[in-house]
Structure 1
Amino acid sequence: MTGLQLRDWWWRTAQFGGAVFVFVVVLHTLTSDTGLSDRSAAILALCQGGAVALVVVSPLGGVMLALGAVVVASLAEPGQLWVDPVVNSYLVVLALAGLRVRPRVAVGMWTATVAAGVALAGSVRPPEALRDFLEISVLAALVLVAGGAVRAALEARSRLTAEQEATERERERGAALAERTRIARELHDVVVHHMSVVAIQAQAARYRIQDPPSELVAGLEAIRASASEALGEMRRILGVLRADDADDLLAPPRPAPTLSDIDGLVSGIRSTGTTVDLEVGGAARPLPAGIEMSAYRIVQEALSNAVRHSPGSVIRVEIDYEEEDLVVLVQNGPGTSPGTESASAGGGQGQIGMRERVDSLKGQLTAGPTGGGGYRVHVRIPATPRERESREQEPRERESGGGSR
């Protein structure tokens, strides 16, 4: 049973229970405190209990049914303007109706109540008619106003919750877009560097060979032209991404960070007084620029989250060069400063960028709180083209139902 189904079940159960309760109370009071026959008391009690159930579905119908029972009971007991058990249950129905109707409809319900009181006072005329009339008129107004106030508060809370959820969704979309833009800019720096080298080498190669064949010259020129065209397209895309900052368009591209820059990153964190243990395992070797840059950014984000959300904690950074994969681990313990929160609180937007980086490299990311109150980020990225191709092929084979037994 889902949460919505459970809530509906509880609401229907409460509605039925309220109707039965009102029926029993009204029936008992009418049969013991009034001169009505048992049959008349049962009919009036059934009307009031039914009105409690009906008002949830049709507020106006429930109020009219309850008010009709009030009028019939008063006419059957000419010694008093209102029969207390019946009119009291009517006030309960009015309160429930006030939770569900607009102010204009509530005013109409109160007007109908006053009109019924005036008509009964004119026909019954007990000595206390005026007092009873004023009392019920005021009580009816109060319960309708109270119901309307509760309804307005619930609607305001619902609107506020909806606005907060919409704002949060918009913030998440904006954060994801900003992170994608940042990744695109960094990829631009890497791609532009390599394409520039390709274009320059293709242009220079023809001059390093004496009397090169025309086919070779044409091929090298095609390579140079394609590389130059790709560079132009990349710069055009970057110009759109950086349209909000004209200075970035004129600034020279910064070199992409690599794993060799991790030492400087860790030193910067240590300068804040945070204890960071760095361990590098395996045979360190140059990796493709995209992998090194993404690994650096992941470590940077994980360290930033640990410092921000668990200040004073000890952070452990491990970089393991395996034969086929690059494995990165960033783990911190619980914060020692008072009032700190788990590092997982920072995982929302930061993990968006980390997961997109890892997914783009066909890697795996696991991030979450540890049992001791800390946080752990574990990343495994295929470091060789063959490994990445095999991981790209696995989902395709699963989707197509292929694969050998």
Structure 2
Amino acid sequence: MSSTSTPHDQEPRRPAPPREGRAAALRRAAAAILDGLRTAGTSLSTPAGPAEPLLAHAPKRWVRMLPLVIAVCFVTVLIPVTVQVLTNDYGVDGGLAGALGVAQSAPLLLAITRPLPAWWIVIVADVFGAIATMAADPGRPAPWTPMIIVGYLVLCCALSLRESRRTLLVIWLVTVVAGLVLGAFRGEGSQDTSVLLMVLSGAVLLLGALLRERGDAQRRLVEQETISEAERAQRTLLEERARIARELHDVVAHHMSVITVQADSAPYRLEGLPDEACEEFGSIAASARESLTEMRRLLAVLRSEGADGERAPQPGLDRLPHLVEATVRAGIPIDLSRPELAILTHLADVTPAVDLSAYRIVQEALSNVMRHAPGAPTKITVSLDDEFLLILVVNGPSKEPPAPLEGSGTGHGLVGMRERVRLVGGTVDVGPLPDGGFRVAARLPLLPKDSGTA
């Protein structure tokens, strides 16, 4: 029995040379793949921008730390699992299994800042790992082990969030070529895992690229909206200044005209004036007419041609009752408190510019109430102290939702309001109230600041 059992026991050892020949063929295929990778590397784009960690600009710290935590978790799990599976299931030497586990998993930490160099390390380690596993046990799933697939998909997530479409396409093509070449040498009874990695890696790269491009588009949109908002605010400020300039032109033109008439009529109204005084009045009238003509020439471009509204008298505080009446008809209950309003406009030292600015402030405040708090009760208080004209407009919370087109204001009306107050040397305070209402409080000087030095 011993003589017959010896040849029977020796026959399974004869396929050993073909196994060594298969391993040599796999090594030659790996060398060819590496040469192809070096050639393809010239077409890969470099990482976009500086080597910053993924999500480095996130506002919250835990979000910025999330990529590192995920990478550490995967590395901590994949290295021991890879070593154990390669050693126990595939029969790979323990030292080689440890080296492959580290080379295939540790670069995930590098992928946080430099995903493309990490991919180079991982793809080379994965190719050598596939060669080692297929040479050790051709009957196992090949060419990619489950650990390789998991680690590679995590790496693809990092690549898709950083690299360009062209780079991602080349990476996927290299993955496909490596899988097809290595899959050609797998054992006949082994399960092909190359198609699985092709499909999953392609899906992850595509989905990640779409998410990144969508985020980039949203960020560019926000930046453009911010720029447009700044431009609109600046344009509104300039338009309001032009409007104020046109209105002040009417005020100044009136006073200059009065000066001209008084200077021209002084020699006839005042008897016994010496010739020098008459000449001086004539010079004053000529200078006033010249200044008026020059001012009209410079400000003519600010007045719209054919605008009938520009020819109407400029409103003042005496027009507040009409403004309030029109607003009440629009559905806004208003309580107007104006003690001694006639004294404010006629007896008090209120300049025309301040009178006009006060009216415009109340007008803009009521416009904001109609737009953003329709139906809210509103109280307007106009009072006077020793140095300032005080205006207070307070509205309560809205009783009905604003119209869709009016609900999101830009604040440009408040910009014009502040500009008017600034030009006359006053102050304004606007802001919401705890009960959901809004308050506009303005202090306008009764006399110009430089009146005392004139």
- TM-score past 0.5 threshold: yes
Change (3 A) 1:213 1:37: farther
2:168 equivalent in structure 1: 106
How far apart, in 2, do the equivalents of 1:390 and 1:65 lie?
79
How far apart, in 1, do the equivalents of 2:319 and 2:301 lie?
29
The structure with higher relative contact order (CA 8 Å, sep 6+) is 2
Q: Which amino acid aligns with 1:335?
A: S
How far apart, in 2, do the equivalents of 1:391 and 1:164 lie?
46
Count of paired positions: 383
Counterpart mapping for 1:317-336 below 5 A: 317-336=380-399
Q: 190-199 vs 55-64, which deviates more?
A: 55-64
2:7 equivalent in structure 1: none
Identity of matched residues, %? 34
> Which stretches in structure 1 are left out of the alignment for 5+ residues?
393-405
1:157 equivalent in structure 2: 218
1:357 equivalent in structure 2: 420
Query: Within the alignment, does 1:197 sit opposite 2:258 as a pair?
Result: yes
Change (3 A) 1:138 1:38: same
1:260 equivalent in structure 2: 318
How far apart, in 2, do the equivalents of 1:350 and 1:103 lie?
45
1:403 equivalent in structure 2: none
Q: Give the match's secondary structure for 1:170.
A: helix
Question: Deviations for 1:215-260, whole angstroms, at most 9, x for unmatched residues?
Answer: 3233222222221222122212332113xx3213x88743222211
Query: Please, which of 348, 368, 372 is the counterpart of residue 305 of structure 1?
Result: 368
Query: Please, which of 221, 231, 236 is the counterpart of residue 170 of structure 1?
Result: 231
1:384 equivalent in structure 2: 447
Query: Within the alignment, does 1:95 sit opposite 2:154 as a pair?
Result: no
Does the 8 Å contact 1:172/1:349 carry over to 2?
yes
How far apart, in 2, do the equivalents of 1:224 and 1:130 lie?
106
Q: Give the match's secondary structure for 1:25.
A: helix
Pairwise CA distance, 1:142: 1.9
Counterpart mapping for 1:130-141 below 5 A: 131-141=192-202
How far apart, in 2, do the equivalents of 1:4 and 1:31 lie?
33
How far apart, in 1, do the equivalents of 2:451 and 2:129 lie?
84
How far apart, in 1, do the equivalents of 2:397 and 2:254 lie?
42
> Which stretches in structure 2 are left out of the alignment for 5+ residues?
1-54
2:107 equivalent in structure 1: 51
1:231 equivalent in structure 2: 292
Aligned-CA RMSD value: 2.9
Pairwise CA distance, 1:42: 4.2
Q: Which amino acid aligns with 1:113?
A: T
1:369 equivalent in structure 2: 432
- TM-score, length-normalised on structure 2? 0.77
Question: Deviations for 1:187-240, whole angstroms, at most 9, x for unmatched residues?
Answer: 111111111111111112123345643332332222222212221222123321
- TM-score, length-normalised on structure 1? 0.85
Max Rg structure: 2
2:38 equivalent in structure 1: none
How far apart, in 2, do the equivalents of 1:273 and 1:30 lie?
75
Q: Give the match's secondary structure for 1:57.
A: coil
Change (3 A) 1:234 1:274: same
Does the 8 Å contact 2:172/2:201 carry over to 1?
yes
How far apart, in 2, do the equivalents of 1:29 and 1:96 lie?
22
Q: 21-30 vs 212-221, which deviates more?
A: 212-221
Does the 8 Å contact 2:328/2:334 carry over to 1?
yes
Change (3 A) 1:195 1:251: farther
Question: Deviations for 1:91-130, whole angstroms, at most 9, x for unmatched residues?
Answer: 22122212222222112111221232244335x4222668
Q: Give the match's secondary structure for 2:188.
A: coil
| Greater helix content | 1
Query: Within the alignment, does 1:281 sit opposite 2:364 as a pair?
Result: no
